[in-house]
């Protein structure tokens, strides 16, 4: 026994000392990074040498990032925001020292609308700058090829793979599996097309769900096919024919024969080709410039001297309570009640002429969505607020958008999904298998309602819950009807949880116009009747000094995890964590679009 306590004390002491040493090391690194951060921010601008090339390497394209960018797990290119990337491409067009753009983004993990915006910026650069765009990859994913096909020259490794396969949607259905474990899911929903609950109710997609999935996927594919067709000078029908032959398994020579690429080259040969374009000796280094470096150059046009501003606020991620969105190494972007406070602040700011709310969200908490909707309404009562939809503005994402003064969407934005559901597990069958019993003493009839998951709901409780869900749905379609100037009946006919593309949403009056963020900003200025204004992009999370260390440890922890887990494994944990953090009834998109 004496040896046990000695060993235990030694182990405990080692643990405490190890923790202290680790914290000291982390603090040392933290203060070093802080010093380098403040040193870097002191540099006002950079100078771009002549004969430079803008290099675009993308893994993701977020709408916003944190101000102080403790990014141990991304390179200087990969996590640049969509707004900043587009601005960098515009700068490259006007900068005489930038000779061309090199795209090396074979596997971008981004939504269709974001990729479309970047592709359009690259197409504008190619058409109006007189400069070249070149793309190379060892292998192209389908979204990577969609983006890269805009280039004047598209190259692939002689042993590379080009993934063109069309779009598909699949789901696992758990109903029978859960029954084997004695679990029964009690479902409450409104909306024929609100399909998030189908895996717990059915053994396959409902016909209504198949209809909406096929409809929106065809809209996304039409965009992808038409742009590849135009850039590569291949007939649209030929694109479909190629895709139906499974090009991912082709001999790479076929990619060139079919005009999908211009040549099969190793990366060193691509660099030699670029040396020739730049008239450089092969011994000379090519001066590649990142988008962030380009953004630190002085713009050609002087900034407006006006005090009036158009403020762009960002709503990115799942809508959730700030209580449920505690930071961790697995945290992803989320929308909380803080957005409502930010909108109210901008509404009360006399220097702000109008607000643009950029929405990229599949929805989430119905309660939090209502709070943000109220803030949008308050803002609209004081000044114009224009909505700009990104990849998603669905369910709760549409809820917070519908009150806007004017709504823009991309043609491939996923929106609508106007519906609400609630889902509760009943583990009484599992409890019976385990001979687990529960007894309750209560003062009132519903005192234990929803507090136990090992008994089924009573008929009275089910009735109350369904009425509650229906009230939520009625509130949702009322918000939409009031915001869009429609009757509740007409909203209900296009709601029912159905998902629409932006192009479809325009035809049914859920949005006002197709266009991106720039178009939304111009509209906001027009509605505010201002022509001389500044644009304030609020796409940086701002933190107090007291939050720096927590932010640092969050990034440091995630960097360590990325050395252990793959990107797919981390994304799976992120999805699981988001689902676990959802509170209350949900207005959320029932599936994710995978390109």
Assess contact for 385 and 379: CB atoms under 8 A.
yes
Q: Is the dihedral of CA 568, 570, 571, 577 positive or negative?
A: positive
Q: How many residues does the chain have?
A: 595
**253-262 burial, b for 16+ CB within 10 Å, e for fewer?**
eebbebebbb
Q: What is the separation of C-alpha 39 from the centre of its chain, rounded to a whole number of angstroms?
A: 31
Q: Which of 64, 90, 116, 194 is catalytic?
A: 194
- Candidates 55, 53, 59, 19; CA nearest to 566 is 59
Whether residue 395 lies in the annotated active site = yes
C-alpha span between 113 and 516 (Å, rounded):
9
Dump strand ranges (E) for 417-519. Answer: 420-426, 499-501, 513-514
CA atoms within 13 A on the CB side of 236: 8
C-alpha span between 414 and 362 (Å, rounded):
8
Residue appearing with tokens 């298998």: 433
Q: Which of 114, 148, 195, 395 is catalytic?
A: 395
DSSP letter at 175 equals H
DSSP letter at 350 equals T
Assess contact for 369 and 319: CB atoms under 8 A.
yes
Assess contact for 385 and 341: CB atoms under 8 A.
no
- Cite the active site residues: 194, 395
């Amino acid at each position: 026994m004496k040896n046990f306590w000695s060993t235990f004390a030694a182990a405990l002491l080692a643990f405490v000392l190890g923790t202290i040493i680790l914290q000291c090391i982390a603090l040392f690194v933290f203060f070093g990074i802080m010093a380098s951060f403040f040193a870097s921010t002191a540099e006002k601008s950079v100078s771009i040498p002549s004969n430079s090339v803008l290099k675009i390497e993308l893994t993701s394209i977020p709408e916003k990032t944190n101000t102080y960018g403790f990014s141990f797990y991304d390179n200087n290119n990969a996590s640049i925001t969509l707004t900043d990337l587009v601005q960098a491409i515009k700068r490259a067009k006007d900068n005489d020292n930038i000779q061309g753009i090199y795209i090396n983004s074979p596997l971008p993990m981004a939504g269709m609308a974001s990729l479309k915006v970047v592709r359009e910026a690259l197409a504008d650069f190619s058409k109006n700058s007189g400069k070249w765009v070149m793309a190379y990859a060892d292998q192209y994913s389908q979204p990577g090829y969609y983006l890269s096909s805009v280039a004047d020259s598209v190259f692939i490794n002689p042993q590379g793979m080009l993934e063109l396969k069309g779009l598909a949607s699949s789901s696992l259905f758990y109903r029978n599996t859960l029954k084997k474990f004695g679990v029964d899911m009690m479902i409450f929903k409104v909306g024929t097309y609100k399909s998030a609950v189908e895996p717990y109710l059915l053994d396959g997609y409902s016909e209504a769900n198949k209809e909406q999935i096929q409809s929106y996927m065809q809209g996304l594919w039409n965009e992808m096919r038409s742009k590849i067709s135009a850039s590569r000078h291949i007939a649209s029908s030929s694109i479909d024919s190629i895709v139906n032959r499974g090009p991912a398994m082709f001999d790479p020579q076929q990619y060139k024969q079919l005009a999908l690429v211009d040549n099969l080259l190793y990366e060193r040969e691509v660099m030699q080709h670029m040396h020739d374009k730049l008239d450089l000796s092969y011994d000379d280094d090519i001066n590649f410039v990142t988008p962030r470096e380009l953004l630190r150059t002085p713009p050609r046009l002087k900034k407006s001297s006006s005090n009036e501003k158009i403020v762009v606020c960002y709503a990115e991620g799942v809508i959730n309570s700030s209580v449920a969105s505690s930071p961790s190494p697995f945290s992803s972007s989320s929308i909380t009640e803080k957005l409502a406070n930010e909108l109210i602040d901008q509404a009360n700011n006399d220097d702000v002429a109008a607000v643009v709310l950029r929405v990229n969200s599949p929805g989430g908490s119905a309660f939090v969505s209502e709070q943000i909707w109220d803030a949008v309404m308050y803002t609209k009562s004081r000044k114009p607020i224009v909505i700009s939809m990104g990849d998603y503005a669905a369910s709760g994402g549409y809820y917070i958008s519908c009150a806007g003064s004017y709504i823009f969407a991309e043609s491939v934005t996923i929106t609508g999904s106007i519906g609400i559901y609630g889902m509760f597990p009943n583990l009484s069958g599992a409890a019976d298998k385990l001979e687990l019993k529960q007894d309750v003493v209560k003062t009132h009839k519903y005192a234990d309602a929803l507090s136990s998951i090992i008994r089924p709901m009573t008929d009275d409780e089910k009735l109350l819950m369904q009425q509650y869900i229906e009230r939520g749905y009625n509130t949702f379609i009322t918000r939409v009807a009031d915001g869009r100037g429609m009757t509740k009946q007409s909203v209900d006919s296009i709601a029912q949880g159905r998902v629409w593309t932006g192009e479809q949403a325009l035809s049914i009056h859920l949005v006002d116009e197709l266009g991106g963020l720039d178009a939304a900003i111009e509209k906001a200025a027009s509605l505010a009747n201002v022509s001389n204004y500044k644009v304030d992009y609020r796409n940086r999370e701002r933190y107090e000094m007291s939050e720096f260390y927590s932010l640092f440890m969050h990034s440091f922890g995630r960097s360590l995890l990325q050395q252990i887990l793959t990107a797919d494994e981390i994304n799976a944990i992120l999805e699981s964590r988001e689902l676990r953090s959802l509170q209350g009834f949900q207005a959320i998109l029932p599936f994710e679009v995978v390109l």
